[in-house]
Chains A and B, each alone.
Chain A
């Protein structure tokens, strides 16, 4: 888990990236950068604490509440600390047709946690998500930018064991 430091600031590289993002939009429309900048913030801190959201509001010259209302609306932003690997498991119809429910049951048993929880060693957080747009290759889950498709119980075991090393 990543602790929020007392002094919240982007790393110099990320600050450059954030400036580049803000410059994509027309003058005075810097609020458009909010979603992309929150993704960058989450990349750095793992989750969005109120301190982080206040900091982002300052950078974009908008009110903190404008950040809170966006961060609470979109499911990809974590509002609580998460584990090293966030497993986003697709629970939607087409994946279920391909055995998604059974594999999900196996994954929960393997990790010893339920949806929304983090393993005691801080390695894995399990999140249920709606359709990941990979229905033909289901069951599927995503960890950060990596899709794991055509899942089976054995494949889940392999992935978890690999990531636990």
Chain B
């Protein structure tokens, strides 16, 4: 059994309540941090742990904390990014609804480390029931003296606010999230200035993902070095993986970074393998925005080594033969899945969710969706394939925020690895546009 940092107690009955969470050792890390450590020492443990941003970017959290400006007399803020809306990713949802106090405890420790007296958890509005769970947990923690004025008699004050979003994927981008938190449209800001210098209300702000923050209680209890000893290389610790699609056991799993893709996909401890009687065709390892890979390239790197669930191994080979760990949204496709239809579906998502601020994204995502729609529905031409590649290149890297890249990569990678499937759709329009029709040509199935 792999070590569990975040989900060890997640199935304990009543763990969503303060008392049960406390009985399992909850809030001891807050006591330790606030009573025996300085904020600087807490930041140092986060740095030592090597924990990286679990929302998808993978930037070292402690280093991000280190960038926080500390001008005199200006408030600082911690904002938790709980706007999880990347297709294939549902780990934060699972964590918050099942063990809300883990996030609350992490927020208290992190806020203390950063010198924030008011912190926000920005939750996507679709999860209103989760918002109620978090609010209840906050009330409980406050009643027990772990939140509010003079926490545990230390003189440290912290108010925690849960903010509901309004249904916009773009608000998962940190500066769009801050705009939204200020009561505006979720239009990403230009960087610099970075939030660490001018964030919420133009004050120094750190924005961290739910899972990143939830790691903090374990890190404080066990030390950053102990955390860094788990995992592989610079991919330290554990990671929650949301597994969906054509597998035996969809769900959220905590892995030690470095297990092989093969083991994660096929062992009973995790996904339990592909649906009975089927074969793996393709896999998206890190949420809809990361490049899709065919079966052979996801199991082995181009050099023939076992592909591991880590930031480095998944991105080995760059975008030619690799992908990214991203947010850990593991979407599995067997041979019954139509890559063209799925690419169109993802493209529709990015078109719908583009905030419309930058022309390449606003126009390009819609253009890609239209072209994919006509290929999928039997009206495409061979020229359309190159056109899609061309549009994706014109979006990628040319927008204020990474939503443009996120829209371009699924399309570019699908064509890179499954061009013959797109061609089949164009040369056999009547057959290909039938409901459920799937290309049966040469495929590297595993």
Tell me if A97 and B89 are in contact (CB < 8 A): no
Tell me if A35 and B242 are in contact (CB < 8 A): no
Cβ of B317 to closest chain A Cβ, rounded Å: 24
Give every chain B residue within 8 A of A1 (Cβ-Cβ): none
Judged by a CB distance under 8 angstroms, whether A92 is at the interface is yes
User: Which residues in chain B, 335-394, are within 8 Å of chain A measured between CB atoms?
Assistant: 337, 341-342, 345-346, 348-349, 352-353, 355
Tell me if B164 and A39 are in contact (CB < 8 A): yes
Tell me if A32 and B345 are in contact (CB < 8 A): no
What 1/0 flags go to B243-260 for Cβ under 8 Å of A? 111100011100000000
Tell me if B252 and A133 are in contact (CB < 8 A): no
Give every chain B residue within 8 A of A26 (Cβ-Cβ): 75, 118, 201
Give every chain B residue within 8 A of A34 (Cβ-Cβ): 183
Tell me if A136 and B251 are in contact (CB < 8 A): yes
Give every chain A residue within 8 A of B86 (Cβ-Cβ): 131
Distance, CA A133 to CA B346, complexed state (A):
14
Give every chain B residue within 8 A of A88 (Cβ-Cβ): 126
Tell me if A94 and B129 are in contact (CB < 8 A): no
Judged by a CB distance under 8 angstroms, whether A19 is at the interface is no
Tell me if A136 and B250 are in contact (CB < 8 A): yes
What 1/0 flags go to B152-193 for Cβ under 8 Å of A? 000000010101111111000000000011111110000000
Tell me if A136 and B90 are in contact (CB < 8 A): yes
A74 and B167 in contact, given A31-B183, A135-B244 (Cβ under 8 angstroms):
yes
Give every chain B residue within 8 A of A91 (Cβ-Cβ): 345, 348
* Prevailing SS type, chain B contact patch: mixed
Give every chain B residue within 8 A of A31 (Cβ-Cβ): 182-184
| Identity of the chain A residue whose Cβ is nearest the Cβ of B344 in the assembled complex | A93
Tell me if B125 and A94 are in contact (CB < 8 A): no
Tell me if B242 and A130 are in contact (CB < 8 A): no
The number of chain A residues with a CB under 8 A from chain B is 45
Judged by a CB distance under 8 angstroms, whether A79 is at the interface is no
Give every chain A residue within 8 A of B251 (Cβ-Cβ): 136
Give every chain A residue within 8 A of B250 (Cβ-Cβ): 135-137
Distance, CA A70 to CA B128, complexed state (A):
19
| Identity of the chain B residue whose Cβ is nearest the Cβ of A32 in the assembled complex | B183
Tell me if B169 and A130 are in contact (CB < 8 A): yes
Considering residues A76, A77, A129, A142, which has the most beta carbons from chain B within 10 angstroms of its beta carbon?
A76
Tell me if B87 and A92 are in contact (CB < 8 A): yes
Distance, CA A138 to CA B353, complexed state (A):
20
Tell me if B182 and A129 are in contact (CB < 8 A): no
Cβ of B169 to closest chain A Cβ, rounded Å: 7
Tell me if B167 and A129 are in contact (CB < 8 A): yes
What 1/0 flags go to A91-107 for Cβ under 8 Å of B? 11110111000000000
Judged by a CB distance under 8 angstroms, whether B85 is at the interface is yes
Tell me if A36 and B126 are in contact (CB < 8 A): no
Distance, CA A75 to CA B132, complexed state (A):
21
Cβ of A14 to closest chain B Cβ, rounded Å: 15
Tell me if A131 and B85 are in contact (CB < 8 A): yes
Give every chain B residue within 8 A of A36 (Cβ-Cβ): 163-164
Judged by a CB distance under 8 angstroms, whether B404 is at the interface is no
B87 is contacted by which of A33, A76, A130, A144 (Cβ under 8 Å)? A130
A73 and B185 in contact, given A94-B87, A131-B349 (Cβ under 8 angstroms):
yes
Give every chain A residue within 8 A of B163 (Cβ-Cβ): 32, 35-36
Tell me if B345 and A96 are in contact (CB < 8 A): yes
Judged by a CB distance under 8 angstroms, whether A110 is at the interface is no
Tell me if A76 and B329 are in contact (CB < 8 A): no
Judged by a CB distance under 8 angstroms, whether B309 is at the interface is no
Tell me if B245 and A97 are in contact (CB < 8 A): yes
A133 and B166 in contact, given A31-B183, A96-B342, A97-B245 (Cβ under 8 angstroms):
no
Tell me if A135 and B167 are in contact (CB < 8 A): no
Tell me if B125 and A135 are in contact (CB < 8 A): no
B185 is contacted by which of A69, A146, A147 (Cβ under 8 Å)? A69
Tell me if A133 and B126 are in contact (CB < 8 A): yes
Tell me if B331 and A97 are in contact (CB < 8 A): yes
Tell me if A146 and B245 are in contact (CB < 8 A): no
Considering residues A32, A66, A142, A144, which has the most beta carbons from chain B within 10 angstroms of its beta carbon?
A32
What 1/0 flags go to A1-30 for Cβ under 8 Å of B? 000000000000000000000001110010
Give every chain B residue within 8 A of A25 (Cβ-Cβ): 161
Distance, CA A24 to CA B162, complexed state (A):
9
Cβ of B158 to closest chain A Cβ, rounded Å: 13
Judged by a CB distance under 8 angstroms, whether B421 is at the interface is no
Tell me if A136 and B244 are in contact (CB < 8 A): yes
5 A-B residue pairs with Cβ-Cβ distance under 8 Å, sorted by A, are: A70-B185, A93-B88, A131-B288, A133-B84, A145-B129
A residues contacting B by CB (< 8 A) are: 24-26, 29, 31-36, 38-39, 60, 62, 66, 69-70, 73-77, 88, 91-94, 96-98, 129-138, 142, 144-147
List of 8 A-B pairs having minimum Cβ-Cβ separation, nearest first = A74-B166, A76-B167, A34-B183, A136-B250, A31-B183, A135-B244, A75-B167, A73-B185
Task: Apart from A69-B185, A135-B89, A136-B90, list 11 A-B contacts with CB within 8 A.
Answer: A31-B184, A62-B183, A66-B183, A74-B186, A77-B167, A94-B331, A130-B353, A131-B87, A133-B124, A145-B128, A147-B129
